[in-house]
Each structure stands twice: as structure tokens, then as C-alpha cells.
Amino acid sequence: MIRLFKYIILFSLLLNINLLAQVCNFCNKKITSNYITVDGLDFHPNHFICNSCGKSIEGSFTKDNNKYFHTKCYEDNYGLRCDYCKKLIKGQVIDSEDGKFHKTCFNNHVVEKCAVCDKPLVGHYIVDVHNMKYHEGHKNDLPTCSNCNRIISSKTTNGGVELEDERSLCTSCFQSRIKSKNEYETLLSKTIYNLSLLGLKFNSSTILVEPVNKRRLAEVSQNSVNTNTKGFCQSSYKYREKNGIREKFDEVHKIYILDRLPEQSTESILAHELMHVWMHQNDINNLPSNIVEGSCNFISYLYMKDRFDNPSKEVLMLLENDPDKIYGDGFREIRRRFGSKTLNDLLRFLTNY
Ligand SMILES: [Zn+2]
Ligand SMILES: [Zn+2]
Ligand SMILES: [Zn+2]
Ligand SMILES: [Zn+2]
Ligand SMILES: [Zn+2]
Ligand SMILES: [Zn+2]
């Protein structure tokens, strides 16, 4: 900041006897009658000159860097202006990353407001994957939508619904949830068909789907999956000898999937679980979990990536930004390696791992 001195002129109309033969600091000529003194320098009254407009100063002035200005001239040319309202800042200045502001301009128009409580966000705050910014404390006080991960509040999601299994859904996800059990069969067939178009083909073993709530999913998976998991695939089969070759039969794959999610999320989870089915069918076991889950998420990604409706784009965005070490990092690693290759390259890689 420029150091700014503001003086009210000591317009010293000292009638002077001129014993010291004073000299005007502007014109260097002797002062024989009235003069003014500013900072110990004497001037003819009309020779105390504004450095901006060149006219004499009578009244208040502003000094900056040993130069004198009409206060108005100074303000017009050098005054500190608010980066929001463009008017002069005379009182307190808020000097922020975004510029300099009047305090009220800053608080009312510049500083980020909390998406939940609308109060200014100062210091540390959360920016979620939807670019929603809010106070960190709300994270503990408010539920998060278990489908879209939005923090649920009247302002952010127009409220939401708590399910009996400790899940919460925001209003929009709840409204677009799958309501009938029959829909899951249809979506399973649709997903299997679409995956086969991408090049992921299944053998004739039985694939079933069962929508369950979160508690049931934890039971069937014996909590072997993390708390954010939305599906679990259970595979069972028997062996028999045929012409001296041991082969599987009665192979059944049962996909448990969280119920009451929107269709797009459900399809994306089905695509993920169907990749587990494909691995079972092809006896791909004992791979590192980041490769397994990363590949399953990659199949979801391939399945969703060419859709342009907003719910699908959002499912994809959440998948791409999943912070989980196994699911998220695993996916990004597989995409880095196979994103520009064919699906067959990935399948070969998994088969030969
Ligand atoms: Zn003079
Ligand atoms: Zn001036
Ligand atoms: Zn302002
Ligand atoms: Zn807040
Ligand atoms: Zn939601
Ligand atoms: Zn998985």
C-alpha cells in the first residue's frame, strides 16, 4: 500500500514581517507579503501547486511521495478503488486474493457464501466434487446423498429422505429412484446386451439380480466390501469330470445391488458387477484388488461414457473422481493404461496377469 498522508492545510495566512527574506519554494522568488508554510517549506499563496492539475491549492490537500495534490485530484487519479463497486475506498480496505474492496462490498458480493447456510466462507471450507462450497462443520451435522454425494439441506438439495438402512437420498435422487423390483431384471438384460455390444461377452451361466438395502448388502458381502459399495456379486458352481477334463457346471452369479437408486446409477453398478461375473466365468482370480475393482469401474466407465444425459454424466463424474485408493486410483490406473486401447487388450491383460 502506498503510504498516504492527508493533511488539512495549515493555511497560515501569517501576515509576515519578512525578516528572514523568505523564498518561495516554487518560484524561488522572495516572499514579500502573505505566504503559506507546508512541511517547513514556504510558498507564495498561489504557488502551492497541485501536482496533478497544476492549479494552486487552497484548502485541503493530500501529500503522497513528497508531492502535493488537491484531495479530489489525488482521489480521481490515484485513489484506491473498490474492485467490486469501483468507488473510492476511504475507510477500511479488505485486501483479498480477488482484489481490494469495501468491507460491505466484499461481504455481500465477493466472498464465497456457504451453499448450506449462506454465511460467508472464510478460512478452511469444503469444496465437493460438484464444486459446492460449504463450511466443514455441516459435514458432521447433515447427511450426504448416498447416490450423488451432495450434502443434503434445504438449500443444496431441497431436502431429502432418510431410508431405513441409514442411507439418505437427496430429493432429486429419491424422486428418480427405481420403484419396482421388476425393473431390475429389465435393467440387467439391458446392461448385459449393451456390454456385449462393447465386446464383453458372457457364457450361458445363470446371472441373477437382487435389489437389497444397505444392511442386507453388508450381510451378504460379509462386510468384505467398503461402506460405499453399491453392489456385490456372489458366484457359485460345482465341478464335474467330463472326458477327463474338470469343468464347472451349475454356475450361478447373483448380483446384489443397492435398491432405490436411479436407473443410471443402477446400470453403472450392474456393469461393474457384470465385470466381476466375467472374471469368474473366465477363472480370473487372485488379482490385486486395485486391478480387479479398477477394471470393473473401467467397464462402468466404458458403459456410461458416451451418454449425454445429465444423470449419466454425473455418475461418470463421480466414478472419475472417486477418492478411494482401490476403486478410484485403480480405475484411473486402468484407464491410463487401456483408455486408448481396445477392450480386448484389457481382457487379454487380465487373462494373462
Ligand atoms: Zn512563488
Ligand atoms: Zn489539482
Ligand atoms: Zn465497493
Ligand atoms: Zn455454512
Ligand atoms: Zn442425490
Ligand atoms: Zn467390485
- Cα 90 from chain centroid (whole Å): 36
Report the pLDDT value the prediction gives residue 201, as an integer from 0 to 100. 95
Quickly tell me which residue has 498522508 as its cell: 5
pLDDT in tens, 302-340: 999 999 999 999 999 999 999 999 999 999 999 999 999
Return d(Cα 243, Cα 238) in angstroms, integer.
16
Cell, residue 175: 424422486
Ordered domains of the chain (ranges, CATH):
23-78 (2.10.110.10), 112-175 (2.10.110), 181-351 (no CATH)
DSSP-derived secondary structure for 101-145: EEHHHIIIIIS-B-TTT--B--SSEEE-TT--EEETTHHHHS-B-
Q: Using a pLDDT cut of 90, give the percent of the chain over it.
A: 69
Report the pLDDT value the prediction gives residue 2, as an integer from 0 to 100. 42
- Closest ligand to residue 151's CA: 5
Name the packing angle between helices 289-304 and 182-198 (round to 10°). Answer: 90
Quickly tell me which residue has 460467508 as its cell: 120
pLDDT at 22 over 90: no
Report the pLDDT value the prediction gives residue 225, as an integer from 0 to 100. 61
Confidence of residue 12 (pLDDT cuts 50, 70, 90): very low
Strands 245-258 and 206-212: parallel
CA distances to 134, 136, 143, 144, 152 from 140, rounded to whole Å, are 12, 8, 8, 10, 11
Give first-to-last CA distance, the chain, whole Å: 63
Dist. CA 92 → ligand 3 center (Å): 11
Report the pLDDT value the prediction gives residue 96, as an integer from 0 to 100. 87
Report the pLDDT value the prediction gives residue 20, as an integer from 0 to 100. 56
Which residues 6+ apart lie within 8 Å of 200 measured at CB?
A: 274, 275, 278, 299, 343, 347
- Closest ligand to residue 82's CA: 3
Neighbours of ion ligand 4 (CB under 5 A): 114, 116-117, 135
Report the pLDDT value the prediction gives residue 226, as an integer from 0 to 100. 67
DSSP-derived secondary structure for 15-82: ----TT--B-TTT-PBP-S-BEEETTEEE-GGG-B-TTT-PBP-S-EEEETTEEEEHHHHHHHH--B-
Neighbours of ion ligand 2 (CB under 5 A): 50, 52-53, 70, 73
Neighbours of 150 (CB within 10 A): 23
- Closest ligand to residue 290's CA: 6
DSSP annotation of 248: E
pLDDT at 6 over 50: no
Is 6 or 130 the better-scoring residue by pLDDT?
Answer: 130
The rounded mean pLDDT for the chain is 90
pLDDT at 350 over 90: yes
Confidence of residue 16 (pLDDT cuts 50, 70, 90): very low
- Closest ligand to residue 56's CA: 2
Strands 93-96 and 67-70: unpaired
Picking from 108-122, 137-151, 172-186, 324-338, which range would have the lowest pLDDT averaged per residue? 108-122
- Closest ligand to residue 47's CA: 1
The residue-averaged pLDDT of 94-104 equals 90
Report the pLDDT value the prediction gives residue 13, as an integer from 0 to 100. 40
Picking from 19-28, 109-118, 206-215, which range would have the lowest pLDDT averaged per residue? 19-28
Dist. CA 116 → ligand 4 center (Å): 5
Which residues 6+ apart lie within 8 Å of 337 measured at CB?
A: 349
Dist. CA 81 → ligand 4 center (Å): 30
Neighbours of 320 (CB within 10 A): 16
- Closest ligand to residue 161's CA: 5
pLDDT in tens, 42-90: 999 899 999 999 999 988 899 988 899 999 898 888 888 999 999 888 8
pLDDT in tens, 289-301: 999 999 999 999 9
pLDDT in tens, 226-278: 667 899 999 998 888 888 888 888 899 999 999 999 999 999 999 999 999 99
The residue-averaged pLDDT of 147-165 equals 96
Q: What is the three-state SS of 175-200?
A: HCECCCCHHHHHHHHHHHHHHHHHCC
